Amino acid sequence: MKKIIFLFTILLLIMSCGNKQETKAEGAAGNTAETKEAKKKIGVLIPGPVGYFVAVREGIDKAAAENNVEITYSDAGWDASKQLSQVEDLISKKVDLIAIAAVDSNAAKTAVRMANEANIPILAFTNAIGDKENGEYEGLITYVGQNEVETGKLTGELAKSLLGEKGGKVVLIEGRPGTSPQINRRKGVMEALDTNKNFEVVYTQTSNWEKEQALKIVEDLIQKNQTIDVIIAQDDNSAIGAGMALKEANLKDKILVIGLGGSTEGLNAVKSGLIDGTTYMSAVEEGYTAITAAVKYLNGEKVEPVTQMKQVEVNKSNVESFKGEW
């Protein structure tokens, strides 16, 4: 009888251990599922295929890896309607947050409304939405980027410092029409130049951020014998194209060229004298900051309406202090 009781007790112990192991295994599986669910998904909308956003993505990917979030990228190819379709797609996929660099600052207002109606938080980076100079816009959790008016003003001040009080004839080469950078950089450069009436803008044209288009613009102006003292471009690509056209016509020593953005090629152009100045801001840092702000919001932390990035002046005297990222 004692043997039977002993064997029965042993059997109960074995069954109890088995149940505990099964419970433990089920618990571990449940924890794994919960961990997977906890990985937040952020949809990132890029406006078009330019080198700047390669560097921005580097910063985004770095922040995503550090914060264990999943990034889905979409490139609109500078098509505003396509970008809105991409917003719809992200909403249907129920991402946790949308980060958008707008193709068009006004068209993107619809994207904000769509995200708000779907209760999906949305932030803007690089290209602001709406009309406010600092990028603040109702419906966004934050705007991460530069004050484009201040950046445009910086290029105008650089032109003034190079030419002095005597002023001169100015050609403006602008980016893609309708984008926040194009609109606000123009406003800023005009604010700077308007403080000296000796500066006169004699020609304005868009290069769509393209080197070849800027080169053609300046070639045409040279053929027309347009008097020019300084060319102010809204990006380094266009400034370099302008510098190339002047160099080919043996006019580079007579006409100044100012860029914007601090690309590797732009910085090298300042070093070589192909252009006379530019501005610099870290694109990698901008992308990193955008995702960091997104994660803070998703974690329930406070995020300011604007997270401003600053451009600084680059010229021949300080260009060696900067390293290109794109």
Query: Which CATH number does 40-146+282-310 carry?
Result: 3.40.50.2300
Strand partners, 200: 169
Please say whether the beta carbons of 226 and 254 come within 8 A. Answer: no
Please say whether the beta carbons of 299 and 174 come within 8 A. Answer: no
Q: Is 181 a residue whose pLDDT tops 80?
A: yes
Q: Which is nearest to 280 in space by CA: 238, 308, 244, 309?
A: 309
Dist CA 13 CA 66 (whole Å): 46
CATH 3.40.50.2300, domain 149-281+316-321, yes or no:
yes
Q: Is 322 a residue whose pLDDT tops 70?
A: yes
Cβ atoms within 10 Å of 49's Cβ, excluding its own: 11
Q: Which is nearest to 45 in space by CA: 80, 2, 4, 7?
A: 80
For residue range 58-69, list pLDDT tens digits in order: 999 999 999 999
Q: Which is nearest to 248 in space by CA: 227, 267, 223?
A: 223
Dist CA 96 CA 115 (whole Å): 11
**Burial (0-12, 13-18, 19+ Cβ within 10 Å), 60:** buried
Q: Is 4 a residue whose pLDDT tops 70?
A: no
Q: Is 7 a residue whose pLDDT tops 60?
A: no
- What is the pLDDT averaged over residues 170-177? 95
- The pLDDT assigned to 50 comes to 82
- The pLDDT assigned to 37 comes to 54
Segment among 13-17, 88-92, 171-175, 180-184 with least mean pLDDT = 13-17
Sheet hosting strand 256-258, strand order edge to edge: 199-206, 168-174, 230-233, 256-258
- The pLDDT assigned to 309 comes to 95
Please say whether the beta carbons of 236 and 279 come within 8 A. Answer: no
Dist CA 273 CA 266 (whole Å): 10
- What is the pLDDT averaged over residues 15-20? 48
For residue range 86-144, list pLDDT tens digits in order: 999 999 999 999 999 999 988 999 999 999 999 999 999 999 998 888 999 999 999 99
- What is the pLDDT averaged over residues 190-218? 97
- What is the pLDDT averaged over residues 207-221? 96
Domain(s) labelled CATH 3.40.50.2300 in the chain stretch across: 40-146+282-310, 149-281+316-321
For residue 24, what pLDDT band results from cuts at 50, 70 and 90?
Answer: very low
- The pLDDT assigned to 131 comes to 84
- The pLDDT assigned to 51 comes to 83
